[in-house]
Amino acid sequence: MPTVKIAIIGTGLIGPRHAMAVRDNVETELACIVDPNPAAQSIAEELKTTRYESVRAMLKACKPDAAIVCTPNQSHVSVSKELIDGGLHVLVEKPISIDVASGLSLIKYAEYRSTSLLVGHHRRFNRYVLAAKEIVSTNRIGRVIAVSGLWALYKPPEYFEAPMEWHRTAGPISINLVHEVDILQFLFGAITRVHAEKTISQRGFPAEEGAAILLRFESGTVGTFVLSDAAPSPFNFESGTGENPTIPYSGQDVYRVFGTQGVLSVPDMILWSYGQEDKNWTAQMLAEKVNVENQQTPFELQLRHFVSVVRGQSRPICSGMDGLSAVTVCEAVVQAIATGLPVEIRNFCK
C-alpha cells in the first residue's frame, strides 16, 4: 500500500513534533512544511524536506494526500478550509476554532466536500486516559459521582514573545482547558452546565490566566477543575504523564474520580476501595496500583489513526463535532466568568 503524503502547516511549538512523527512512520511521508516565517527554513533543512511560504504555493507545487494544521488558533478554520479546497484530508490541532460558529462552518465545509476532518485531541490516545476509560466503563469504581481535576504550571515570559505573541490574547481556557474538557467528556460524557471564577492576573495581558470551574455532566456526575498557567506546579497533565518531553516528569495525579465503590487517581493509577469488605468509614481502604502497559506515544497513535481514516479504513475517533463540543464548553466557561452566573450549554453537537 502506498505511503500517505502529509504536509505540516505551521512550525511553532507543536508542528515539529508532528513532522518528526510523520517522518519516522513507515506508512507516511513528510511531503513538506508550510510556514511564512523565514526562520522555519532551518527546520525544513533539519527535517530534510521542502518549505513553502503558503498553502497556495504548496498546492501549486505539489499535492499531498493530507495535512496537519499547527498554526495559531485563530487561523485554524481559514487554513483548514483552504486545504480542503485543495482536496486534502485534514487533522487540525485543537481547538478546532476560537468560537463555536466558525467551528461549525468548518465542519459543514468538510462535509459538503466529502473530506475527512479530525481534531488533534491526541490525549484520547494516551495510555493513562485509555486505562481510566476502561476502569470507568467497566464500573470498577461503581457509578461515577464526582471528578476533581487540576492543570497548573508556570509559562515563562518567552512563551508570550514573537512569533508567539498571540498567546497574550489566547489564554489557558482555549489553549489548555480545551484538552481537559475533551478528556473529561471522553471519560464521563457531555458537560451540560458550568460556573467559573477567574484567577488573579499577574501579567496584565488581555487573556485570562486561569479559573476555578464547577461542572455538571448529563449523567448527573459533578466536577471541579482548577486551571492556571501562572502558578508553579507539578499538577498538570504534561508533568503527571511525561507526555511532553520539554516538561519535567512529576508523576503526580491530576484527576481524582469518585465512584460509588471507590476512587481512581490518574495518572498515578491508584484505585482505592474497601475490597471485599462492606463499605464503612471505619474500615481500612485498600490501594491497588493499576498496571498500564507501555505503548506508542499519543502523537504516533494519532498519526496511525489519521492514516487509517485517510485510507477509508476507519472513522475519526475525535471528529469535528467532538472538537466543537470541547470549544462549546470552553466558550461557556468564558461566558460564566463574564456574567458571574452558571451557563447552560446548548448542545451544538446533535
Domain boundaries defined on the chain: 4-115, 126-291+328-344
pLDDT on residue 163: 82
Q: Given strand 222-228, what is the order of strands in its sheet?
A: 286-289, 270-273, 262-266, 255-259, 144-152, 222-228, 210-217, 191-198, 343-344
Phi-psi region of 220 (alpha: psi -120 to 50; beta: other; left: phi over 0): left
CA atoms of 233 and 236, how far apart (whole Å): 7
Q: How far is CA 3 from the centre of its chain?
A: 26
Identify the DSSP state of 209.
-
pLDDT on residue 346: 74
The CATH architecture annotation of domain 4-115 reads: 3-Layer(aba) Sandwich (3.40)
Q: Which fold, 126-291+328-344?
A: Dihydrodipicolinate Reductase; domain 2 (3.30.360)
Burial of 1 (0-12, 13-18, 19+ CB in 10 A): exposed
The grid cell for 128 is: 493513562
Regions of the chain where pLDDT drops below 70? 347-350
- Using CA of residue 102, residue 103, residue 106, residue 107, what is the dihedral sign? negative
pLDDT on residue 278: 87
> How far is the first Cα of the chain from the last one, in angstroms, to the nearest whole number?
36
pLDDT on residue 350: 45
One fold for 4-115 and 126-291+328-344: no
> Which uninterrupted H or E stretch holds 150?
strand 144-152
pLDDT on residue 347: 46
